[in-house]
Structure 1
């Protein structure tokens, strides 16, 4: 798999961010995707398989910081994004 884009690029620590992952060879189908991680957090349970070029997932609560997004498939191994996703503290109102 090749992960070429992640949007949005950041979300709150308490999770719930709907993340769109774009790339190539992101799995033949939902069952082909065996690993999906955002900054090391396993979000496979929230996977929505759109196509081999687009996946959607929802972040879980996680610690502050940024990291890459990785997709692992049975058919093609593992791909790691060059772009980073960042967990941020929501601004205090």
Structure 2
């Protein structure tokens, strides 16, 4: 988990989505922006119905983010297939998307 001062507030989501660049992989969609500061992982109930599954996906993605250099603002949307993928696969996808 990132400290509170490094998290992207929900009010900044439209700014990042409008001005950011989108990158996709089989299991993740990443939006990178220079307009705001912070990081967020968004997993709607449509992707993972159970809260346990959503939290597990979020923890894996956040842990993988600690291993790579990050841009100023980053929004990550895991896809439904990300729930069955290993941590190493998520980490390699994040590295390739952000490099």
TM-score, normalised by the number of residues in structure 1: 0.31
TM-score for both structures, normalised by structure 2: 0.30
